[in-house]
Structure 1
Amino acid sequence: MTKRLVGALITSAVLTFGAGGAATAAECIAPANPGGGWDFTCRQIGKIMFDIGAVDKPVQVTNMPGAGGGLAFGNVVNERSDDTDLIVAASTATTTRLAQNAYAGMTADQVRFVGAIGADPGVIVVAADSAFQSLGDLVEAIKADPGSVAFAGGSAVGGFDHMKPLMVLKEGGFTDITKVKYIGVDGGADAITQTVGGFTQAMTGDMSEVVSFLSNGDIRVIAVLTDERVPGFEDIPTAKEQGYDVVAVNWRGLYVPKDISDARFDEWAGKLQQVADSPEWAQAMADNGLAPFTKVGGDFQSYIDGLVADIAALSKELGVTQ
C-alpha cells in the first residue's frame, strides 16, 4: 500500500462525522494565514461543533491564503464543487470582493452561503506608541497630508477593510480617496504586524483580529465601527460618537460548494444553528468582541444576494470600482 493511500485512509478515519449521519469527512478551509478572522471562524466553529456533538470528530482546518480569499474560492469552485464534506470560512470581505469582481470573474452564485452566526465590529487601530490619540487626529492628518498615513488591512485593495477608513474619511469631508495609502495583506494578524512594526501608521480590520494584541498592549483601538460600544470593550469609543457616522460590521460565517444537495446544505445549516444556540458560542463571542448575528440556510442566502448588490453600489459611489 502506498504512503499516499495510507495517508488518505488515516485522514478519512480521523475526520468521520457521527451524530447519527452517514460517514463523511469534515474540513474547514480558512482562506488566510493562521491568526486572522477567517482562521478564527474555522477554528472556533469547528471546535464548538465537536464540543457540542454536532460532529463526533474534530474538524480539520486547512489554511489556504492567497488573493484575498480568491485562491480558496477558486479551489472550491473549480476542484471541489460537489464536496459534501467541505465548509469554508467567509465574511463581509468575501462578498465585497465578489461584488467588485476581485476573484477573476468568479461570482457569488458559484457557491452556497450556508450561514453567519456573529458580527465582528470593524475597528481602526494604531500602534501603542502612535501619536494619534483619536479618530479625529488620524482623519485630520490625512486631510492635511494624504500621503503621511498608510493603512494595512487583511483584505485586498478595494476590499471591505480598505472601504472602512474610506467611509470614515468621506464622512469627515475628505473625498479624494485615491490618495489614501492602503496595503492589503493576508489576514488581520499580518496587518497588525505591519502597523506595530512601523511599516504602516494604522490598521483597519475587525475586533476579533486585534483582541490578543490589545490585551498585550501592542496596539490601541481608536474607533469601533458600531452603533454602540462593544460589550466587554466599553472603553473604546465608536466612530459615531467621535463625529463620523459610520457603521461597518463584518459577519462571520460559512459557504459550501454549489453542487451539494439541498439536504446536505440544510444539514450544514442545522449544525451551524446548533453552534449559534450554544453557550460555548456565546462565550466565544464575548471573549472576542463579536455581536450576535444569526442567519442560516435560505434566509442567509437571500441576505447575501442583497448584500452583494448593495456593496457593488457603494463601491461605485466610493470610486473603488467602475
Structure 2
Amino acid sequence: MKIKQVMASFGLFLVASSMTHAQQAPYPVARVSLVTHSSPGGGTDVFLRDFSKQLSTVMKTSFSVENVRGGSGATAVAAVAKGAPDGSIFYGTTPTYIQTTLLSKPPVGYDGLDPMLIVFLDPELIYTRADSPHKTLADVMAFAKANPGKSRWGASNPASLERIAMEKLARAAGVKVPIVSHEGGADQMIGVLNGTYDLGIGEMQELQGQLEAGKIRLLATLSETRLQGLPKLPTAKEQGFNVVVRKFRGLASPKGLPDSVAKAWEDAARKVMELPAYKAEYTRENLTPMVLGREAARKFTTDFAAETVTSFKELGLLK
C-alpha cells in the first residue's frame, strides 16, 4: 500500500514538474533579427531598437535590428518572407509595406508575411527648421502659392504614408510643390536642417533629438485632435487643411510561425507596455499603445489595406 502511495505521489510530482517546465519554457531561439526598411535613426528603426531593448529583459533572448534598404521596403519584406518561421526573424510593419505592395506590385508584398502584432499608433508631425522664416503651416502654403517652383518638401520613400500625407496636404492647400522622397526620416531631416526643404514629416521618435536640441519647430499634427503630450500644437485640420492620417507600428513574421511563438510575443508585448520606464518613454513620444495579437493584427491589416485602396483611388493613384 505504501509503495502504491509513493508511486502515486511521484507521478503527481512529475506532472507538476512538467507543467512548471511548460510554463517556463524559454523562447525557441537565442537571437532574433528585427528587420526594417528604415534607415538608422528613422522612425521604425528607433521603435524597434527601443522596443527590443525592453523585450530582451522579458523574453530572455537577444535582439538585433537590421536595416535592409531598397524598393520602398519591398527588399526588406522579401528578405523576411524567406526567413525560417521559427521566431528568429520579423519585419517591423508600418503602412508603407501595404502601400508599396499596392503601388509597386513587388514579387513579395505585405500579404507574403503574416501580421503578428500591432503595437502602437504613431501620429505624423509636420515640421520645419527652427530658423525658418515660416512660423505657421499657413506661412509655408502662402510662400508656395506666391513662389511657384521655389518651395520643396521632404518625405519618406515614394510609397510611404508620409509621402501620401504630403501629397494630400498639397492638394488641400491648392499648391503644387516638388515632394522629394527618401528611404528614411533621418535622410529627410538633413534636407530640412540645411534649408533644402521648407517642410518635413515624421514621428516624434525620430524628431525628438532635433526638437530638444532646438534645431526644428513643429507646425502641425496630422491627427484628428490635438495630442495630449503637445496640447499647444494645432492639427492641420484646425488650420484649414483637412488632412488626417493614421500610422501604425507592429511586427509581421514569415508565414508558418507557430501559434505558441506568436502568443509568446503578444504576452511579452503586454508586459513591456506596463513597464514604468517604457510607459514614460512612449508617452513622452506621443505613441498610443494598441497591442493587438495575431488574429486581431491580421484583421487590422486587412481592413487597413482596404481603406488604403479606397484612399488611393480617390487620389487617382489606383484605378
- Scaled by the length of structure 2, the TM-score of the pair is 0.85
The whole-number CA distance in structure 2 between the counterparts of 1:158 and 1:145 is: 27
Matches for 1:282-301 after TM superposition, within 5 Å = 282-301=279-298
Q: How many residues align?
A: 296
- One-letter amino acid of the counterpart of residue 57, structure 1: T
- Asked if residue 222 in structure 1 is aligned to residue 219 in structure 2, the reply is yes
Q: Which residue of 2 aligns with 1:13?
A: none
Residue 116 of structure 1 contacts residue 251 of structure 1 at CA under 8 Å; is this kept in 2?
A: yes
Matches for 1:222-241 after TM superposition, within 5 Å = 222-241=219-238
- One-letter amino acid of the counterpart of residue 60, structure 1: S
Q: Which residue of 2 aligns with 1:9?
A: none
The whole-number CA distance in structure 2 between the counterparts of 1:234 and 1:311 is: 29
Post-superposition offset of 1:47:
0.7
Post-superposition offset of 1:255:
1.0
- Asked if residue 39 in structure 1 is aligned to residue 45 in structure 2, the reply is yes
- One-letter amino acid of the counterpart of residue 95, structure 1: I
The DSSP-based 3-state class of the residue aligned with 2:317 is coil
Post-superposition offset of 1:146:
4.5
Deviations 1:288-320 (A, max 9, x none): 221233322211110110111111221121133
Q: Which residue of 2 aligns with 1:87?
A: 90
The whole-number CA distance in structure 2 between the counterparts of 1:142 and 1:83 is: 51
Give the % identical residues: 24
Post-superposition offset of 1:219:
0.8
Deviations 1:31-65 (A, max 9, x none): 222111111121111111123x2x11331222222
Post-superposition offset of 1:263:
2.9
Q: Which residue of 1 aligns with 2:25?
A: 20
Over 3 Å counting, the alpha-carbon distance change for 1:289 and 1:146 in structure 2 is: farther
Q: Which residue of 1 aligns with 2:77?
A: 73
Report the structure number with the largest CA radius of gyration. Answer: 2
Deviations 1:132-181 (A, max 9, x none): 11111222333344422222122x22421111122223333x2x7xx431
Unaligned runs of 5+ in 2: 1-22
Residue 122 of structure 1 contacts residue 204 of structure 1 at CA under 8 Å; is this kept in 2?
A: yes
Residue 272 of structure 1 contacts residue 296 of structure 1 at CA under 8 Å; is this kept in 2?
A: no
Residue 125 of structure 2 contacts residue 204 of structure 2 at CA under 8 Å; is this kept in 1?
A: yes
Structural RMSD (CA) = 2.2
Residue 42 of structure 1 contacts residue 88 of structure 1 at CA under 8 Å; is this kept in 2?
A: no
The whole-number CA distance in structure 1 between the counterparts of 2:24 and 2:172 is: 50
Residue 146 of structure 1 contacts residue 180 of structure 1 at CA under 8 Å; is this kept in 2?
A: yes
- One-letter amino acid of the counterpart of residue 315, structure 2: L
Post-superposition offset of 1:19:
5.5
Q: Where in structure 1 do 4 or more consecutive aligned residues deviate above 6 Å?
A: none
- Asked if residue 148 in structure 1 is aligned to residue 150 in structure 2, the reply is yes
Unaligned runs of 5+ in 1: 1-17
The whole-number CA distance in structure 1 between the counterparts of 2:271 and 2:244 is: 28
The DSSP-based 3-state class of the residue aligned with 1:230 is coil
Residue 44 of structure 1 contacts residue 284 of structure 1 at CA under 8 Å; is this kept in 2?
A: no
The DSSP-based 3-state class of the residue aligned with 1:89 is strand
